[in-house]
Amino acid sequence: MTGAADTGDDRPADVAVIGAGVVGTAIARALACQDVSCVLIDAENDVGTGTSKANTAILHTGFDAVPGSQESTLLRRGSVLLADYARRAGIPVERTGALLVAWTPEQQAELPAVEDKAHRNGVTDVRRIGAGELYRREPHLGPGALGALEIPGESIICPWTTPLAYATQALAAGARLRLRSRVTGIRAGATEHQVVTGTGVVRCRWVVNAAGLHSDTIDAMMGGGEFTICPRRGELIVFDKLARPLLSSILLPVPTARSKGVLVAPTVYGNVLLGPTADDIPDRGDVATTGPGLASLMEAGRRILPRLVAEEVTASYAGLRAATADRDYQIWVDGSRRYACVAGIRSTGLSASLGIAEHVTGLLAEAGLRLAGRPEPDPPVMPYIGQAGTRPYQDAARIAADPDYGRIVCHCERVTRGEIRDALASPLPPADVDGLRRRTRVLNGRCQGFYCAATVAALFAGAGPGAAAPAGQRPAHGPMATGSGRRAPRGWRSAAPR
Ligand SMILES: Cc1cc2nc3c(=O)[nH]c(=O)nc-3n(C[C@H](O)[C@H](O)[C@H](O)COP(=O)(O)OP(=O)(O)OC[C@H]3O[C@@H](n4cnc5c(N)ncnc54)[C@H](O)[C@@H]3O)c2cc1C
């Protein structure tokens, strides 16, 4: 258990939040900041290791959501809240804007409808631009684009720092974090629920189900069973930083009813992303990339930004959307069962996370959960891992005060010994090298750890939290664990050292 120690008394927690992705951590943060005693439970060894670590990392405005849907409302609210929170918490965000490009007369004819939809979603600063302006702004765009819709508010964000910031704040406010604790059953009771996990039973008055791809299983444990999660895999390709000057904005396709389509976007780490695909698959754990998936992305990329596909590929990965038969989020609170279901957060959960948390907290209060009603405390200031701002290796004053910020360990991503040391000593330390990667960018660059993995592993083993961790909570040491969301491409040329 990380965070405030067990109280030792016999009282159940007010709330157990199942799932420590970006949604569950946001909810735990909101509750803990309102003096609600809260246990955040996850099957894995860290927060944010599910879909939350493997997405396209766009802070959406919600311009293309279905007007009037729960997603539209919470996305709109969430994106405003997260933009502000990120600024205060040091979460990397860049307001690059997006251009939704029409490549065919049919797509061009769709633009007024997309513009109208944006207006109905409250995103009123969109505007149509012609081919001339489009090519002036994006000179590397492939030939044949007919025009675009500009959405100035679309931004790119760090998907890793976001749940870490939420969880860090939740812990500071008194929440407890129970990792490596897969929920295998729930004994729902009249006065309390007993959540059975791999590391023991958690007693609580309320259950919040934020289990992402497994939220239907948790729902069934609470006597529900009204929806089924159908994983929809999205594969993405990460291009080297040398590709970054090829575009200024996020380049979006005209969306279809099924998916937002394949886009090209800068990342806050200075790379370029191409993806995602959208394939319904039966296996909720299958985050392998595929030859056909990557080939289809390259074909799309060749049309959108021809020079991109000639650039070096750094990595590829896949994430799974928690799709349901209903396109909208599945969020409700049942006061009689003291249960909140927060499921089906398919394609926009990162952007909507704070809106979802605010909404769920409000529903819980209406259903009888007591909140302190106090103003929100300031967020924690997280280590900055973006490319646009000043990193420790660029900060002469910081290096003068502490030379470890001048000692670069990962040269591709310019990560210093000081940053690694800080991450290992943070209130929510990484449990393995993959967790360290999400906190610092170490091993993330074009060599994918070829030059620094041994040093990083040694630093992790020497200074990692394992020695101090209680039995059963020891971090899984080992070489470069790439984790589920970031695998070496299958059937793809190696992203190996150059
Ligand atoms: C390809 C792709 C691109 C996307 N792009 C964007 C984007 O650009 N912008 C955006 O806003 N959103 C995007 N999304 C959507 C976004 O990533 C998700 O909506 C969001 O991450 C969902 O968060 P979550 O917390 O609900 O789920 P998760 O992150 O999956 O968290 C659920 C957690 O529950 C835990 N869990 C599951 N079962 C159990 C159990 N039995 N016991 C204990 N713990 C359990 C898991 O370990 C996991 O940590 C994208 C998604 C995909 C797949």
List pLDDT tens digits, range 441-450: 999 999 989 9
Closest Cα to atom 35 of ligand 1: 19
Position with higher pLDDT, 465 vs 161: 161
* pLDDT at residue 467, rounded to an integer: 35
Residue 1 CB coordination number (10 Å): 15
Which of 25, 42, 45, 51 best tests ligand 1's pocket when mutated (most atoms within 8 Å of CB)? Answer: 51
Pairing state between β 147-151 and 250-253: unpaired
For residues 474 and 466, the answer to whether their CB atoms sit within 8 Å is yes
pLDDT for 471 beyond 60: no
pLDDT in tens, 157-184: 999 999 999 999 999 999 999 999 999 9
Q: Indicate whether residue 300 lines ligand 1 (CB < 6 A).
A: no
Q: Is 388 helix (H, G, I), strand (E, B) or coil?
A: coil
Q: Indicate whether residue 18 lines ligand 1 (CB < 6 A).
A: yes
C-alpha pair distances (Å), 404 with each of 170, 237, 418, 465: 29, 33, 4, 19
Taking the centre of ligand 1 as the mean of its atom positions, its distance from the CA of residue 498, in whole angstroms, is: 33
* pLDDT at residue 400, rounded to an integer: 98
Average pLDDT rounded to a whole number, residues 416-431: 97
For residues 329 and 74, the answer to whether their CB atoms sit within 8 Å is yes
Average pLDDT rounded to a whole number, residues 18-46: 98
Q: Indicate whether residue 41 lines ligand 1 (CB < 6 A).
A: yes
pLDDT in tens, 103-145: 999 999 999 999 999 999 999 999 999 999 999 999 999 999 9
Which residue in 167, 194, 159 sits closest to 40, CA to CA? 167
Alpha carbons within 13 A on the beta-carbon side of 215: 36
pLDDT in tens, 390-405: 999 999 999 999 999 9
Per-residue DSSP letter, 411 = T
CA distance 386 to 395: 14
Q: Is 251 helix (H, G, I), strand (E, B) or coil?
A: strand
Average pLDDT rounded to a whole number, residues 189-194: 96
CA distance 86 to 71: 21
Taking the centre of ligand 1 as the mean of its atom positions, its distance from the CA of residue 458, in whole angstroms, is: 31
Q: Is 190 helix (H, G, I), strand (E, B) or coil?
A: coil
Cβ-Cβ contacts under 8 Å for 297 (sequence gap 6 or more): 235, 236, 237, 262, 274, 275, 277
- Closest atom of ligand 1 relative to the 181 alpha carbon: 43
Closest Cα to atom 52 of ligand 1: 55
CA distance 52 to 46: 12
Q: Indicate whether residue 320 lines ligand 1 (CB < 6 A).
A: yes
CA distance 225 to 216: 6
Which residue in 61, 447, 411, 55 sits closest to 267, CA to CA? 55
* pLDDT at residue 182, rounded to an integer: 98
pLDDT in tens, 306-364: 999 999 999 999 999 999 998 899 999 999 999 999 999 999 999 999 999 999 999 99
* pLDDT at residue 255, rounded to an integer: 86
Angle between the 433-440 and 417-424 helix axes, to the nearest 10 degrees? 120
Per-residue DSSP letter, 67 = T
Taking the centre of ligand 1 as the mean of its atom positions, its distance from the CA of residue 163, in whole angstroms, is: 11
Instruction: Look at the block and give the residue holding tokens 């000639």.
Output: 310
Query: Three-state secondary structure along 30-59?
Result: HHHCCCCCEEEECCCCCCCCCHHHCCCCEE
Which residue in 123, 73, 65, 166 sits closest to 379, CA to CA? 166
Closest Cα to atom 12 of ligand 1: 348
pLDDT for 7 beyond 90: no
Q: Indicate whether residue 448 lines ligand 1 (CB < 6 A).
A: no
Taking the centre of ligand 1 as the mean of its atom positions, its distance from the CA of residue 211, in whole angstroms, is: 8
Taking the centre of ligand 1 as the mean of its atom positions, its distance from the CA of residue 286, in whole angstroms, is: 14
CA distance 183 to 78: 28
Kindly state the tokens that stand for 346.
Answer: 């398919």
* pLDDT at residue 39, rounded to an integer: 98
* pLDDT at residue 9, rounded to an integer: 54
Kindly state the tokens that stand for 456.
Answer: 């990083």
DSSP string, 109-160: HHHHHHHHHHHHTT----EEEEHHHHHHH-TTSPTT--EEEEETT-EEE-TT
Bridge partners (DSSP) listed for residue 102: 147
Work out whether the CA dihedral 224, 227, 230, 236 comes out positive or negative: negative
Taking the centre of ligand 1 as the mean of its atom positions, its distance from the CA of residue 212, in whole angstroms, is: 5
Q: Indicate whether residue 354 lines ligand 1 (CB < 6 A).
A: no
pLDDT in tens, 61-75: 999 999 999 999 999
Q: Indicate whether residue 56 lines ligand 1 (CB < 6 A).
A: yes
> Residue 131 burial by CB count (10 A; 0-12/13-18/19+): exposed, middle or buried?
middle
pLDDT in tens, 240-264: 999 999 999 999 999 877 677 899 9
Residue 106 CB coordination number (10 Å): 9
Q: Indicate whether residue 274 lines ligand 1 (CB < 6 A).
A: no
End-to-end CA separation in angstroms for the chain: 41
> Residue 271 burial by CB count (10 A; 0-12/13-18/19+): exposed, middle or buried?
buried
Q: What integer best gives the mean pLDDT of the chain?
A: 91
Taking the centre of ligand 1 as the mean of its atom positions, its distance from the CA of residue 18, in whole angstroms, is: 12
**pTM of the model as a whole:** 0.92
* pLDDT at residue 327, rounded to an integer: 86
For residues 83 and 89, the answer to whether their CB atoms sit within 8 Å is no
Work out whether the CA dihedral 53, 54, 55, 56 comes out positive or negative: positive
Helices and strands, counts by H and E, the chain: 12, 23
Q: Indicate whether residue 353 lines ligand 1 (CB < 6 A).
A: no
pLDDT for 279 beyond 50: yes
For residues 317 and 277, the answer to whether their CB atoms sit within 8 Å is no
